[in-house]
Amino acid sequence: MSIVHVTGKARRWLASGHPWVYRDDVAEVAAEPGDLARVVDPTGALLGHAFFSARSRIALRFVTRGEARPDRAFFDGRIRAAIAVRERAGLLDPRGACRLIAGDADLLPGFVLDRYGSTLVTQCGTLAADRNRDAFVELARAALPFEIECVYDKSDSASRRLEGLEQHVEVVDGALPQGLVVHEDGLDYAVDVVHGHKTGHYLDQRDNRTRAAEFARGVDVLDAFSYDGLFGVRAALAGAKSVLCVDQSKEALERAAANAERNGVLDRMKFERANCMHDLRARAERGEQYGLVIVDPPAFAKSRREVQGAERGYVELNRRAFTLLAPGGMLVSASCSFNVRAADFQSHLSRAAHKAGRSAWLTEFRGAGADHPVLLTLPETSYLKCAFVRVD
């Protein structure tokens, strides 16, 4: 039987509710990497069961506390509970897309499962998730109210290196559909699960795109870091006067244009390939103004070491965005960097508004949608920040 002994410090840390134990707080190991191990404190008392990693800084990710040992029936119940959350949120339209299982946030450590129509895409971040992938997918398929035609494993995230794992990509079952299109609340968009970011799409911004579009009617819109253009397409569908999408990726802009055409708004949208930081400065210097500016950049701080540089980046990026806003306009600014906390991000926006010489009011501060839950005892699951800021 796999057993891991932890220190008194780890026991006190676990008593706070956090489900991880770090490598420095492991005292003795009688387990193989990827095992579901019994975890005991210095007195021999059982603390629970956790997936063990020998390579990662996070040595233990807890699955249960106390005596109960997780078996297939246990994991079936946990997966069904996660899917029920999505069903209650109205996210199980067979034509739609959502995150069915959000890894540690759904108490299924290291395992992510996204759905695009009848295609499932997995991402495994740990050896334990790799080992349990097929069983978890089988349980999820059985719990869904419709048939799944393809399962694709896109375990290619950089975090796998922390576990000593190679990137792993394969079709697990079925065949990848050609021209995969998702329907989402009146919006149709294409998904490229092979070449697209993450598992093929940014599912976490769904609700924020819908909310941002409510400020688009009758105004000119700038969508910076537009990726596949869904903020912009949503804005156009909501009645924007014009929409400009800017991104560095040629392929992303091609998908954005195709999405605009698919939704009948191509005539009001333009697409320009550029470095957004440089592009926003040039537009400000030309005196351009927009009623709605959206900035949704990639993570500026993927580690704590990058936080200081991220601060400069967020302040400068948003300063330029504030400069481009017409009086009464709305800035929608996002950060997906967990290491930049919500209060710090608001501070960066405050500094940016001051540097731009604008009075600004925070009207809403949002996170990800219901399919990206936040586990209160695991702050790391609260990563997405999306601020809605009105200017004078």
The mean per-residue pLDDT over the stretch 272-277 comes to 96
Measured CA distances, 317 to 27, 35, 254, 327, 358 (Å): 46, 45, 24, 19, 15
Query: Residue 338's pLDDT is what?
Result: 86
Residue 355 has pLDDT above 80, yes or no: yes
Q: Where in the chain is the domain with CATH 3.40.50.150?
A: 202-391
Residue 264 CA to residue 244 CA, distance in Å, equals 16
pLDDT at residue 301 tops 70: no
Statement: residue 197 has pLDDT above 70: yes
Residue range 162-190: mean pLDDT, rounded: 94
202 Rama sector, left if φ>0, alpha if ψ -120 to 50, beta otherwise: beta
* Res 188 pLDDT > 70: yes
pLDDT in tens, 19-72: 999 999 999 999 999 999 999 999 999 999 999 999 999 999 999 999 888 999
The residues that bridge with 391 in the sheet, in sequence order, are 360
321 token code pair:
């965005």
Domain span(s) for CATH 3.30.750.80 in the chain: 72-174
Average pLDDT value for residue range 320-327: 98
Stretch 146-161: mean pLDDT, rounded?
94
Q: Where does CATH 2.30.130.10 sit in the chain?
A: 3-65
Does domain 72-174 fall under CATH 3.10.150.10? My reply is: no
309 has a pLDDT exceeding 80: no
Give 324-353 pLDDT, tens digit per residue: 999 999 999 999 988 899 999 999 999 999
CATH architecture of 3-65: Roll (2.30)
pLDDT of residue 305 exceeding 90, the answer is: no
Digit-coded pLDDT (tens) for 241-267: 999 999 999 999 999 999 999 999 999
Superfamily holding 202-391: Vaccinia Virus protein VP39 (3.40.50.150)
Confidence of residue 235 (pLDDT cuts 50, 70, 90): very high
Active-site residue numbers? 336
Verdict on whether the full-model pTM lies above 0.85: yes
Q: Residue 234: is its pLDDT beyond 70?
A: yes
Confidence band (pLDDT; 50, 70, 90) for 270? Answer: very high
pLDDT at site 69: 87
pLDDT value for 263:
98
Q: What is the mean pLDDT of the chain?
A: 95
Decide if pLDDT at 304 tops 90.
no
Mean pLDDT, range 79-93, rounded to an integer:
97
3-state DSSP of the chain: CCEEEECHHHHHHHHCCCCEEEHHHEEEEECCCCCEEEEECCCCCEEEEEEECCCCCEEEEEEEECCCCCCHHHHHHHHHHHHHHHHHCCCCCCCCEEEEEEHHHHCCCCEEEEEECCEEEEEECCHHHHHHHHHHHHHHHHHCCCCCCEEEEEECCHHHHHHCCCCEEEEEEECCCCCCEEEECCEEEECCCCCCCCCCCCHHHHHHHHHHHCCCECCEEEEECCCCCHHHHHHHHCCECEEEEEECCHHHHHHHHHHHHHCCCHHHEEEEECCHHHHHHHHHHCCCCEEEEEECCCCCCCCHHHHHHHHHHHHHHHHHHHHCEEEEEEEEEEECCCCCCHHHHHHHHHHHHHHHCCCEEEEEEECCCCCCCCCCCCHHHCCCEEEEEEEC
